[in-house]
Amino acid sequence: MSFTHLSSLSFEAILVFALLGLIVGSFINVLIHRLPVMILASEDNPASEFNLMTPRSHCPHCHHRLQWFELIPLFSYVFLKGRCRHCAQSISMRYPVVELVTAALFLLCLHQYGFTLQALAACFFCATLLALAWIDAETFLLPDILTQALLWVGLIGSALSLTHTPLLQSLGGAVLGYGLLWLVSWGFEKLAGKEGMGQGDLKLLAGLGAWVGVWSLLPLILLASISGLIFGIVQKFRGQLGHNGHFAFGPFLALSGFACFFLGISMGA
């Protein structure tokens, strides 16, 4: 797969994508923190007013409402030296890490597609997948609003030639992605007598299939399964796997999805 050398791109294009990545990374942090709370709150209290907009951003320790200069992606964290300026409690490293990773992914999209709409579509893929992977790793949840967005934007992007996957391969990847993982999950449940993976994993693979296409599904599943198996074995020996032996599979699907998307790993043309 061809790449556009960053040296051939204008400084303005690099700056725009880097800043856009930091801003979107800040929003991903909001999704990571609030979506699981919203899902659990809606189950316990359907009338809950907690959402992505309210209440306004505040310190989780002293609940002080943050000012605009405390919300500048990355720079606020550095300026405040990683601590709340009111109660001096430390701010989680997740915030700058997610922002930096998002900026790096956006620059990778620029590197691969140049200053184009295709690059912006790839940025959406990266941002959504990063949010899903992080939420699943922390909470074992894969919010439908994100998996469905990944699926439908992938299909629409394919139809509009904003992705490198032809529409028929995108449709086949979505359908087969859900079906294959459902079959694996069903077989495991019949053999082991317990649920192997949740519906969220199936929806995530369907969304990934819409972006990478049907020919990349098997390599994606194999990469995710092997990396997940290695992780499970390591955690088992470290005594950190948990009593039920479960761990989040979404991050491994996401990492494999990144690999197939950017490296063009595929079984066919």
Q: Span 44-69, mean pLDDT?
A: 75
- Give residue 125's pLDDT: 98
Q: Pick the residue with more confidence: 5 or 254?
A: 254
Round the average pLDDT of the chain to a whole number and report it. Answer: 87
- Give residue 3's pLDDT: 58
- The C-alpha R_g of the chain, in whole angstroms, comes to 20
- Give residue 34's pLDDT: 92
Q: Can you tell me which residue has the tokens 């299909």? A: 155
Spatial separation of the C-alpha atoms in residues 185 and 179, rounded to whole Å: 10
Name the band, by pLDDT with cuts 50, 70 and 90, for residue 89.
confident
- Give residue 39's pLDDT: 86
pLDDT surpassing 80 at residue 229: yes
* CA-to-CA separations, 98 to 65, 143, 147, in angstroms, rounded: 22, 18, 19
pLDDT tens per residue, range 178-217: 888 777 777 766 666 666 567 889 999 999 999 999 999 9
Bridge-partner residues for 83, per DSSP? 90
Structural contact between residues 163 and 154, judged by C-beta atoms closer than 8 angstroms: yes
- Give residue 51's pLDDT: 79
Can you list the positions of beta strands (E) in the chain?
A: none
Residue 106: CB atoms within 10 A of its CB come to: 27
Q: What are the residue boundaries of the structural domains of the chain, listed by start?
A: 1-115, 118-269
Q: Which range, 1-5, 45-49, 163-167, has the best average confidence (pLDDT)? A: 163-167
Spatial separation of the C-alpha atoms in residues 188 and 218, rounded to whole Å: 18
Amino acid (one-letter) located at 71 = L
- Give residue 80's pLDDT: 85
pLDDT surpassing 70 at residue 112: yes
End-to-end alpha carbon distance in the chain: 12
Tell which residue, 122, 177, 179, has the closest CA to residue 153. 122
pLDDT tens per residue, range 258-267: 999 999 998 8
- Give residue 196's pLDDT: 58
* CA-to-CA separations, 74 to 37, 123, 176, in angstroms, rounded: 24, 19, 40
- Give residue 120's pLDDT: 97
H/E segment holding residue 170: helix 167-192
Q: Can you tell me which residue has the tokens 């459902």? A: 182
Q: Span 82-97, mean pLDDT?
A: 88
What DSSP character marks residue 108?
H
* CA-to-CA separations, 163 to 125, 145, 263, in angstroms, rounded: 10, 21, 14
H/E segment holding residue 151: helix 144-159
